[in-house]
């Protein structure tokens, strides 16, 4: 796996890359401490499917510079700018959590740039339950003060079914990505506009997923927060043709908890 840096819209941007073939961009979520490293264990398996797997730190995350604009709309536009900087005309997108909504929005609005979309653990793309079950706001995980190492561990435990995956190395890296300039960016994001800056459609995105103009794969952990399994089942019942899978013994970081199943499903889908 190669760690590289590139200038994108004036920001020094870090990315991880492995493999060759059709390009696939892996987009991390927006929780405090998120970075390209959430995909570190998945890059090589996806590359073995004949893919060029690329994960980058979004603006204000990881080792990428903090931007002036902290909105979701800016990070969404930045994906295309990152592709331009690497000379990528068209790519598939794998969006985790909040980034799944960003990926779907780009597929609707820039079909000429997006080949396929994999949505992973994106609660905002699921319908509410009749009794009111609904997920929390994506990207809001974190407190009002800089986290301690114990705080970082607690957040990882909340998002993982298999706690043994939280090795000292994983914990140390996650904590380093949660403090300093990244914590300041987290505070700024909490004040920024939430909209994705995409289509003016008034219908919820989940009601339009069956009309997405590119192939779509949706993956959720059965034990994820916000009644994800029940809401995913409700979406599948309403739109049976959707390619939607639930992974057992997996929470929000399903690409860690159920790495082999995630890689099998997404690798086969993206390489086909």
Torsion of CA 184, 36, 5, 99, to 10 degrees: -80
Residue 136: band (very low, low, confident or very high) from pLDDT cuts 50, 70, 90:
low
Question: How many CB atoms are closer than 10 A to CB 204?
Answer: 13
Question: How many CB atoms are closer than 10 A to CB 144?
Answer: 7
Model confidence over 151-178: pLDDT tens digits?
Answer: 999 999 999 999 999 999 999 999 999 9
Whole-number pLDDT of residue 193:
75
Whole-number pLDDT of residue 198:
52
Model confidence over 178-199: pLDDT tens digits?
Answer: 999 999 999 999 988 766 545 5
Whole-number pLDDT of residue 197:
46
Strand order in the sheet with 52-56: 2-8, 11-18, 52-56, 23-27, 91-96, 114-120, 216-221, 244-247
Mean pLDDT of the chain: 94
Alpha-carbon distances of 218 from 58, 106, 113, 181, 211, rounded to whole Å: 22, 16, 20, 32, 14
Question: How many CB atoms are closer than 10 A to CB 198?
Answer: 20
**pLDDT for 34 beyond 50:** yes
Cβ atoms 271, 52 nearer than 8 A: no
Domain annotation for the chain: domains and CATH numbers: 2-271 (3.40.50.1820)
- The arithmetic mean of pLDDT across residues 213-224, rounded, is 98
Question: How many CB atoms are closer than 10 A to CB 202?
Answer: 5
Alpha-carbon distances of 138 from 32, 34, 135, 169, rounded to whole Å: 11, 12, 8, 26
Cβ atoms 68, 190 nearer than 8 A: no
44: closest CA among 254, 253, 259? 259
- Taking the whole predicted model, whether its pTM rises above 0.75 is answered as yes
């Amino acid at each position: 796996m190669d760690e590289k840096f590139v200038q994108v819209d004036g920001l020094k941007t870090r990315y991880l890359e492995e493999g060759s073939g059709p390009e696939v961009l892996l987009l991390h979520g927006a929780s405090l401490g998120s970075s390209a490293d959430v995909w570190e264990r998945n890059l090589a398996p996806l590359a073995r499917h004949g893919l060029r797997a690329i994960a980058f730190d979004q603006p204000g995350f990881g080792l990428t510079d903090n931007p002036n604009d902290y909105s979701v709309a800016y990070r969404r536009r930045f994906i295309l700018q990152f592709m331009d900087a690497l000379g990528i005309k068209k790519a598939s997108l794998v969006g985790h959590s909040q980034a799944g909504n960003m990926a779907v929005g780009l597929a609707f609005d820039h079909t000429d740039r997006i080949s396929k979309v994999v949505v992973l653990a994106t609660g905002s793309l699921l319908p509410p339950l009749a009794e009111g079950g609904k997920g929390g706001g994506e990207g809001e995980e974190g407190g009002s003060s800089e986290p301690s190492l114990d705080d970082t561990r607690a957040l990882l435990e909340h998002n993982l079914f298999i706690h043994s995956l939280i090795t000292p190395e994983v914990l140390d890296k996650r904590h380093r990505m949660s403090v300093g300039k990244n914590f300041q960016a987290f505070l700024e994001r909490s004040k920024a506009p939430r909209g994705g800056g995409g289509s003016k459609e008034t219908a919820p995105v989940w009601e339009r997923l069956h009309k997405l103009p590119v192939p779509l794969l949706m993956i959720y952990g059965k034990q994820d927060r916000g009644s994800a399994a029940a809401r995913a089942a409700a979406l599948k019942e309403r739109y049976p043709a959707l390619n939607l899978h639930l992974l057992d013994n997996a929470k929000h970081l399903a690409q860690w908890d159920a790495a082999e199943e995630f890689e099998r499903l997404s690798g086969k889908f993206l390489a086909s």
